[in-house]
A and B are shown apart, each in its own frame.
Chain A
């Protein structure tokens, strides 16, 4: 009987401790706060993190992550315990959120798929509308146009690039018409997959036709390989006529009437102008000579009076001197001198940047070739 009482007592004590210890374990688990993180449409697996009371917890999530070879997801908003907050969108880096640890929380991230739109053939372009992540990636379903400047100056007033056409995904090709506008905008392209826009360009070179006298014709932008007719209406300075005697600065084909330049790069040609005094002689000198001769014959028959001798030649010289009012002579070809100085200065700056290790040897050689 005694043994039975002892055994019964031990069983009761066992039951008591089992109940108490279960209660303690349950109490410990129920006090642990957790953070549950999930993604709308299950685009990434959910996970749960225990929160340690009294310590700050920072939740970190990439702004973008790869979906497949040509698309990615980008964070748009999060919902913390039912309250949705928009996220400032960016392509790179981590989004962080401080989570209070006083109780359990639930965070649901929302992200949208994005596709890239690549543009080749020009650097002078913009997207319409611009990318929400400030790069060349756009939310799925967005219709995007590419706006491009038709003309880009490669070298000021010398070489420029002109957009002539474009293609989508190297499959379809369209010409860009010359409608007088400075820019061209493609039709909207819907981004439900990766797209590539290629622009096709042609180089144009500037032809400058200059002259110290009169007005020139032919200056403008031309494509390589064309032959351009040039000319100058040299005009006159009063009775002194200006006439073109030749051309300088490039291989100009000139037969005395028509001048033509073959465009093989940027070129400046200047007209050589000569002064023609034949009209002065016809209008001024010959009548003076006639008047002088008649006067001489008249006075020859009169009683000679001593007067200061003014030979006709002297008068003619005076007239010519007056017509040829001395004007300040400037050296020709100052444009070329300054242009050469500009090239030297550009080259010296490039050399300086190379010697100061600002530009690498490879880049220096590449740039030097293009200058």
Chain B
């Protein structure tokens, strides 16, 4: 199985895609099996926190996972998504092949071929797959929620102390305990989940 760090690296990365590959993410392709497969892999990976099997993708996209349906999904993945570098194929064993997205944020680019050599130019904004399909552990969301909780509770504690609702001793004990917990949460968010908080909470 992939490590949590590997999954986070896939979220932080912005992958450049040529127009012919970026089209699979656009609204025009909503009805295409290719886009359905992309979104299915994304959702399933978030649930399982790891690469997913062909049968699971087929079940999610088509609603059936017999051999014919699996072949259809495999061909679609191999003909388009693997070639474009949108999906990675991982072979765990001879009979255990799984798929995972290479990234969750994509930049459409136009390749320019000039006498100076090849270069690329970004087109439009970065496209993000829905955040609720990003493979992020429950712990991260819980840390975000707790961070908010401790920040708000400390505000209340200060305000209650200013209004003489609690004695000084109790205020200082609680202030120290809550601050310590908040510091521990921030430390973990900054180390293990570095860069992720800004991405997740930004609009």
- Whether B144 contacts A349 by the Cβ 8 Å rule is yes
Contact with A along B137-180 (1 / 0, CB 8 A): 01101101110111011001100100011110010001001101
* Cα–Cα distance between A371 and B177 once the two chains are bound (Å): 19
B3 at the interface (CB under 8 A from A): yes
A330 to B166, CA, bound (A): 6
Q: In this assembly, does B198 line the interface, its C-beta being within 8 Å of a C-beta of chain A?
A: no
Interface flag for B46 (CB, 8 Å): yes
Determine if B112 is an interface residue (Cβ-Cβ < 8 Å): no
CA distance A214 to B152 in the complex (A): 31
| A21-29, A305-313, A356-364 - interface stretch | A356-364
Residues in A whose Cβ lies below 8 Å from that of B174: 334-335, 338
Q: How far is the CA of A350 from the CA of B149 in the complex (A)?
A: 10
Residue of A nearest to B173 (CB): A335
Whether A357 and B132, one on each chain, are in contact in the complex, defined by CB atoms closer than 8 angstroms, is yes
Are the CB atoms of A370 and B142 closer together than 8 Å?
Answer: yes
**Whole-angstrom distance between the Cβ of B54 and the nearest chain A Cβ:** 18
CB B192 to nearest CB in A, in angstroms, measures: 9
Binding site secondary structure of chain B: helix
CB atoms of A328 and B149 under 8 A apart: no
For B144, the chain A residues whose CB sits under 8 A away are 349, 353
Minimum CB–CB distance from A57 to chain B (whole Å) comes to: 14
User: How far in angstroms is the closest Cβ of chain A from B172?
Assistant: 13
Interface residues of A in 248-300 (CB under 8 A from B): none
Bound-complex Cα distance A360 to B130 (A): 10
Q: Is B194 an interface residue (CB 8 A)?
A: no
Known: A136-B3, A367-B142. A330 touches B165 (CB 8 A): yes
Is A224 among interface residues, defined by CB-CB distance under 8 A?
no
B residues less than 8 Å from A69 (CB atoms)? 92-94
- Do A349 and B156 have beta carbons less than 8 Å apart? no
| 12 more CB-based (< 8 A) A-B contacts, given A335-B170, A349-B148, A370-B138 | A153-B184, A156-B181, A156-B184, A157-B181, A330-B167, A330-B170, A331-B165, A334-B165, A338-B157, A347-B145, A349-B145, A363-B46
29 intermolecular pairs with C-beta atoms under 8 Å apart: A69-B93, A69-B94, A91-B6, A153-B184, A156-B184, A328-B167, A330-B166, A338-B156, A338-B157, A338-B174, A338-B178, A341-B156, A342-B150, A342-B152, A342-B178, A345-B149, A345-B153, A349-B144, A349-B149, A350-B145, A358-B132, A358-B141, A359-B132, A360-B133, A363-B46, A363-B141, A367-B141, A367-B142, A371-B142
* 9 closest residue pairs by CB, A with B: A346-B149, A345-B149, A349-B148, A156-B181, A349-B145, A360-B132, A345-B152, A342-B153, A69-B93
